[in-house]
Chain A
Amino acid sequence: MQSFKRRLPFSAWHLLLMPLALLFVLPLVQMVLTSFMSSAEINQFPPKLLPTSLHIEGYRALLTETPALRWFANTVLVSAVSVLAHLVLCSMAGYGFARLKFAGRGVAFLVIIATVMIPIQLLMIPTYLMFARIGIVDTLAAAFVPWLASAFGIFLMRQFFLALPVELEEAARIDGCGTWRTFRSIVLPLARPALATLAVFTLLSSWNDLLWPLVAISDDNRFTLQVGLANFQGMRRTEWSQLMAGNVLATAPLIVAFLFAQKRFIATMTFSGLKG
């Protein structure tokens, strides 16, 4: 049946999938195209899909009149710190909970799993007050400190290490490797797929985060791209070419990463879906 289907030049499923695919991707195409339009073209009705020629005014205005480049750099920095910290801290903790025996291990892990249920809305008020007290409100640190490690990351790495056969580590032990060396030179290289999944997850959540940086940062120059755009949009609803240019700047890096590493992204989404 399958091979018969494959030879068919046309399947009824295309009738469903083609319009759906267009519905999902056309708004993004329109976003990119609009970012290259002049304001006159944008304000026409019926709307034009294609710009008459490549107008880069939107991008130019965005980069000269707003600190968008700064916001972009801030976002890159916040995401990079979050991803790196996650990789180091969560893989170490995951290894500790999976393999090392120490007092309080069971309780600590249970507490970590329990925190998954606490919603960010409950945490943002005390976290804001806490950060204000230690004086990091309104700095970039405020944006990345909550993203340095997560229960999800620890859980993911622990699951991975539990599934890893223990023989290699034992062999390393016998050859005289300490715990740290065994972890660094034997375990971590094997954990590459799990680390990649963790990196994708952290990148997606930290890059796209709006609520927390919106609360924690009020200085224009320290905004992340998401906050900058959201506030910019509140003030200048009519500057659509600039807004769309900003949107491209905020969306394109992750979409390009997605197109290159689609399998990894999908694996991450699937994993976060099956973690239960």
Chain B
Amino acid sequence: MAITFAASSHATVRQARPRGRAVRRNLTGWAFAGPATALVVGLSLFPAIWAFFISRARWNGISPGVPVGWSNYERLASDPDMLAAARHTLLLTVLFVPSSIMLGIVIAIALNQRIRLIGFYRTCIFVPYVASAAATGILAGFVFNPQFGAANDVLRHLGIPQQQFLESPTQALYVICVIALWGEVGFTTVIYLAALQDIPKELVEAARMDGASRWRVFRHVTMPELRPVTVFAAVWQTITAVQLFDLIYTTTRGGPLNSTQTVVYYIYELAFQTQRLGYGAAAAYLLFAVTLLLTLGIIWYSRRRGSEVF
């Protein structure tokens, strides 16, 4: 009988329930939610807190750690390798994020047309996203091989001199950016394509009826509708660019001459190649703080511009 009541007047029934039932309800709830919650919290919140303590020590993971206060953080500010890595990460982000957004919009608009072969085109453009960054990196090493790679063959046909690509300290980071775009543009394309299909057709048609040119429709109708997706894409791709690792590991391993050493790669080297766990953890915390600030900055900026996605 209590059950039929529960459907009609929840609150009164709950008060009338004996204590044992509340305990039972809590147990059932936690039986469902508990295991996954414990795993997620135990494998992220707890280690994140621990990482903070590690970051305030000098420690190789074997002999006991020596607490050093904030000195790891202080050292980072004047570490030339860290500064170079930050510069490379920044350059990569500044190149990658706007390019992947602009390419995503253009390709999504093209893929949104009702023309022949459109299914084929869509498949082709999304497939690289499914391939792992590690496999993509190995493939890129082959395509951009200075001796026999297809990239140099294309340049030869265009009458452009042969390049060293990933083996040149001045080019490698740009080549990695191009490869990352190849692998990740499928993602921005897909979310823009979904957003384009959500734009009410009447809106576009009405503007066209009023005599607006294609460009004006795009500028004043389509673009504002896409703004929330752009904010999301900017945040997401910034995180992707900052955290890029697999591709760098399988193409250059930070070389040549450290020219592709990024912050994430440097953290990996510090912690797992040279066993400087405390210093690595401090660098990781710094990266976390910067990414968070960057993300909040993008959201704040877009809020001010009147987007309401977050």
Chain A residues packing against B (C-beta within 8 Å): 2, 5-6, 8, 11, 13-14, 16-18, 20-25, 27-28, 30-31, 34, 42-47, 89-90, 92-93, 95-97, 100-105, 108, 111-112, 114-115, 117-130, 132, 145-146, 148-151, 153-154, 170, 173-174, 179, 183, 204, 207-208, 210-211, 214-215, 226, 229-230, 233-234, 237, 240, 243-244, 246-247, 250-251, 254-255, 258-259, 262, 265-266, 269-270, 273-274, 276
Contacts and interface: CB of A to CB of B under 8 A. Distances in A.
A266 B190 contact: yes
A118 B107 contact: no
Nearest to B277: A125
Nearest to B113: A13
A274 B107 contact: no
Contacts of B48: 115, 118, 122-123, 126
B237 to A, nearest CB: 11
Nearest to A158: B33
Given A20-B107, A30-B142, A215-B272, 15 more contacts: A13-B113, A28-B127, A47-B148, A102-B33, A119-B284, A119-B287, A125-B271, A126-B51, A146-B43, A210-B250, A246-B138, A251-B135, A255-B130, A269-B186, A273-B194
Nearest to B243: A119
Contacts of B249: 210-211, 214, 230
Interface residues of B, number: 102
Interface stretch (B21-29, B78-86, B168-176, B218-226): B21-29
Contacts of A111: 37, 41, 45
A274 B43 contact: no
Nearest to B115: A11
A173 B3 CA distance: 8
B32 A100 contact: yes
Given A115-B41, A121-B287, A45 B148 contact: yes
- Of listed B27, B130, B272, B295, residue having the most chain A CB within 10 A: B130
Given A21-B124, A276-B232, A240 B142 contact: yes
Contacts of B135: 226, 229, 247, 250-251
B165 interface: no
Nearest to B4: A174
Give chain A's interface secondary structure class. Answer: helix
Contact of B37 (A25, A108, A130, A215): A108
Contacts of B271: 124-125, 128
A247 B246 CA distance: 14
Closest 5 CB pairs of A and B: A102-B29, A96-B32, A96-B33, A273-B191, A208-B132
Interface of B: 3-4, 6-7, 25-37, 39-41, 43-48, 50-51, 54, 61, 106-107, 110-111, 113-117, 120-121, 123-135, 137-143, 147-150, 152-153, 156, 182, 186-187, 190-191, 194, 229, 232-233, 236, 239, 243, 245-246, 249-250, 253, 264, 267-268, 271-272, 277, 280-281, 284-285, 287-288, 291-292, 295, 309-310
A47 B149 contact: yes
B40 A100 contact: no
Give the interface SS of chain B, mostly helix, strand, loop or mixed: helix
Contacts of A254: 130-132
A177 to B, nearest CB: 11
A100 B28 contact: yes
Contacts of A108: 33, 37
Contacts of A151: 40, 44
Nearest to B263: A121
Nearest to A275: B232
B25 A100 contact: yes
A24 B156 CA distance: 20
Contacts of A226: 132, 134-135, 246
17 contacts: A8-B115, A18-B121, A24-B186, A28-B131, A46-B156, A96-B29, A102-B25, A112-B40, A115-B44, A119-B287, A125-B280, A126-B54, A148-B39, A153-B36, A173-B3, A210-B134, A273-B190
A17 B245 contact: no
